[in-house]
Amino acid sequence: MDIAITIILGSISIIVSLAAVYYAKRADDNFRNPKIDLELSPDHVQFMLRNVGTDTAVDIIEINNICRDLPNTLWNYNGPIDYIRIKTHVAIPLYFQNGKTPEPSSMTQLRFEYKNSDGDRFYSDIEIERAATDQQIYFNRSKLIKWGVLK
């Protein structure tokens, strides 16, 4: 009888430890995920490129060739825009190529591809909306449409 109870308790312990290993692996995978997103500046005339994930984004490229002067590395930081973030290169202004600024009242999709510190590849699909005004460049919003791991 004592051996049967020991075997049952041992089996339960093995199942629980396997579940713990599985969830620990998932948590570790989620811990090393950069996520590039755009944030509007307070005056709505410029986007700030930032990494809201949990790891550094490196080798950043924009696939549609709309943006220029992208940083090679973008640190991760979750917090509001402020002077310190801009000066420490946590939020980087996003500039458009000459002649490729989105037209008024238009939606433009940007795709960024980048790597984390382990070399795994990720992507972010972001949609930006420009306001209807012709007199100045003014943006309404940005929306992270899709984000994930490139295989």
DSSP state letters, the chain: -HHHHHHHHHHHHHHHHHHHHHHHHHHHHHHT---EEEEE-TTSS-EEEEE-SSS-EEEEEETTS-EES--SEE-B--S---HHHHHTTSEEE-EEPTT-SPPTT-EEEEEEEEE-TT--EEEEEEEEEE-S-SSS--EEEEEEEEEEE--
What pLDDT is attached to residue 55?
Answer: 84
Give pLDDT, residue 78: 60
Residue tagged 């939020």 (tokens): 91
Cα 27 to Cα 21, 30, 31, 104, 126, distances in angstroms: 10, 5, 6, 42, 25
Task: Using the CB atoms, write b or e for 40-78: b if 16+ within 10 Å.
Answer: beeeeeebbbbbbbebbbeebebeeebbeebeeebbbee
Q: What is the pLDDT of residues 61-118, one digit of tens each?
A: 999 999 998 988 888 766 555 555 555 567 788 889 988 888 888 899 999 999 988 8
The residue that leads in pLDDT, 142 or 17, is: 17
pLDDT in tens, 1-36: 789 999 999 999 999 999 999 998 887 776 778 888
